[in-house]
């Protein structure tokens, strides 16, 4: 969702009713189930909480995250099982994915992960890996369509005869990548505007034509190659690269009150009204999105594309919907991810700090530990929930240290 974050009470003792307790417990179970599905592991059983906040700070985790962790219980081997589906290969990066409904009434976020999407000539016949987060609004129609279609459009564009290495330096290659991502987003927007809520081509269905116009989605997509990270963003989801401990934004949030976006909206004949935050025509809290036919051309589909050369100091890449970024800064998210991805980090972080043993019902127990990338994505999601995020939360953490350069 693209709602502006609302300030709410940060205290948790003001509502300890049985209904609220059950809701919080349900969200914890749901998030651990999602993490278990994506990682192929089951959650760890609860450890004793013996580490203080000061000890956590000394261990490398920022003290302001509001979480504590147990002392390391075992060494963590460098070899990790890949998250998602498929077999582990030397060509695929390590990553973790968590996507939960959170406190929102419905789930409109979707994620897509496609390791080894293709081996295009522009990347010297080496595999490229695709990651994306889509944050829907007005229903999940467009975000779902994006999750099943966008990567195929990118693949088709990469395999076009014109997308080849024909000499030139890095600037030429980067310009070709920008063209690929731009054309893919344009085709995706055309498909979204031509598809009805019933998932039928709008011109062939018998639904109210307004139904095809009310849904939209932000999109942040990253293509990882052996030498570059290419990010295309439309909307207020975000991609952040952690390099040598510093958070480097690879996308800029498209908010209606951004000076250049406000000027573009007004030039298109629209208005930016403050209704629970700045919104296009007082309706939509993002200035760019896929779909949203009824707000065209004020709400644009054009992505901003960033290409960054990979360096030895690159540690991780984080893609997430605004359910995370509304309550966490980019630097804090990188600090937490770095802590989880360290080789000397505890292998069994206490992600069940307020859970009881029966939270594992139906899951069983196991001696396996989730991969560090899954722990990072899970901890970021839990922290966003703890900081009272009211939106769906979707997080992808890609470990660049353990990914082939």
Q: Are 107 and 34 in contact (CB under 8 A)?
A: no
Domains and CATH numbers, the chain: 95-254+289-343+370-399 (3.60.40.10)
Q: Tell me the C-alpha distance between 94 and 79, whole Å.
A: 10
How many C-beta atoms surround the C-beta of residue 313 within 10 A?
Answer: 12
SS3 110: strand
Q: Tell me the C-alpha distance between 111 and 373, whole Å.
A: 16
Q: Tell me the C-alpha distance between 308 and 80, whole Å.
A: 26
Helix pair 372-386, 330-341: axis angle to 10 deg? 140
Q: Tell me the C-alpha distance between 75 and 381, whole Å.
A: 25
The model carries a pTM of: 0.76
How many C-beta atoms surround the C-beta of residue 363 within 10 A?
Answer: 14
How many C-beta atoms surround the C-beta of residue 87 within 10 A?
Answer: 7
- Where are the strands (E) in 144-250, listed by range? 216-224, 228-234, 238-243, 246-249
How many C-beta atoms surround the C-beta of residue 259 within 10 A?
Answer: 7
- Tens place of pLDDT per residue across the chain (405 aa): 544 333 333 344 445 677 777 777 776 666 655 554 444 433 333 333 333 333 333 344 554 554 433 332 222 333 333 333 333 455 688 999 999 999 999 999 999 999 999 999 888 889 999 999 999 998 898 999 999 999 999 999 999 887 776 555 778 888 899 999 999 999 999 999 887 656 666 555 656 566 566 789 999 999 999 889 999 999 999 999 999 999 999 999 999 999 999 999 999 999 999 998 999 999 999 999 999 989 999 999 999 999 999 999 999 999 999 999 999 999 999 999 999 998 776 655 555 443 333 334 333 333 344 688 999 999 999 999 999 999 999 999 999 987 666
Q: CB-based contacts of 88: which residues, under 8 Å, 6+ apart?
A: 81, 82
- Closest C-alpha among 84, 88, 109 to residue 97: 84
For the CA atoms of 369, 373, 375, 378, what is the dihedral angle to 10 degrees? -140
Q: Tell me the C-alpha distance between 179 and 163, whole Å.
A: 9
- Closest C-alpha among 176, 182, 137, 198 to residue 321: 137
Q: Tell me the C-alpha distance between 268 and 258, whole Å.
A: 15
Q: Tell me the C-alpha distance between 357 and 59, whole Å.
A: 27
């Amino acid at each position: 969702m693209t709602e502006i974050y609302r300030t709410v009470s940060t205290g948790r003792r003001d509502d300890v009713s049985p209904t609220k307790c059950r809701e919080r417990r349900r969200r914890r179970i749901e998030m651990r189930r999602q993490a278990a599905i994506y990682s192929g592991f089951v959650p760890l059983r609860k450890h004793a909480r013996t580490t203080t906040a000061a000890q956590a700070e000394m261990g490398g985790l920022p003290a302001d995250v509001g979480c504590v962790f147990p002392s390391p219980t075992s060494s963590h081997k460098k070899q990790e099982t890949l998250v998602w589906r498929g077999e582990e290969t030397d060509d695929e990066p390590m990553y973790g994915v968590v996507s939960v409904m959170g406190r929102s009434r419905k789930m409109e976020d979707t994620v897509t992960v496609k390791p080894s999407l293709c081996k295009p000539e522009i990347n010297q016949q080496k595999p490229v890996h695709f990651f994306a987060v889509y944050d829907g609004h007005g229903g999940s129609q467009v975000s779902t369509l994006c999750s099943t279609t966008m990567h195929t459009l990118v693949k088709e564009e990469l395999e076009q005869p014109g997308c080849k290495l024909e000499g030139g330096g890095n600037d030429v290659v980067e310009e070709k990548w920008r063209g690929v991502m731009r054309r893919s987003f344009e085709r995706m927007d055309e498909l979204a505007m031509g598809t009805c809520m019933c998932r039928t081509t709008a011109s062939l269905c018998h639904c109210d034509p307004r139904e095809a116009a009310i849904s939209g989605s932000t999109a942040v997509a990253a293509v990882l190659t052996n030498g570059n990270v290419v990010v295309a963003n439309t909307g207020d989801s975000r991609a952040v690269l952690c390099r040598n401990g510093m958070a480097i934004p690879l996308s800029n949030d498209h908010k209606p009150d951004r000076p250049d976006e406000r000027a573009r909206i007004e030039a298109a004949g629209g208005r930016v009204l403050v209704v629970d935050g700045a919104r296009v025509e007082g309706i939509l809290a993002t200035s760019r999105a896929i779909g949203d036919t009824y707000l065209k051309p004020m709400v644009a589909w054009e992505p901003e594309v960033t290409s960054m050369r990979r360096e030895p100091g690159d540690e991780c890449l984080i893609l997430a919907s605004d359910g995370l970024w509304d309550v966490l800064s980019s630097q804090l998210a990188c600090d937490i991810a770095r802590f989880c991805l360290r080789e000397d980090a505890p292998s069994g972080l206490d992600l069940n700090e307020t859970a009881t043993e029966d939270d594992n019902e139906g899951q069983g127990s196991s001696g396996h530990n989730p991969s560090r990338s899954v722990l990072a994505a899970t901890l970021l999601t839990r922290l966003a929930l703890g900081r009272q995020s009211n939106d769906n939360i979707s997080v992808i953490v890609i470990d660049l240290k353990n990914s082939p350069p």
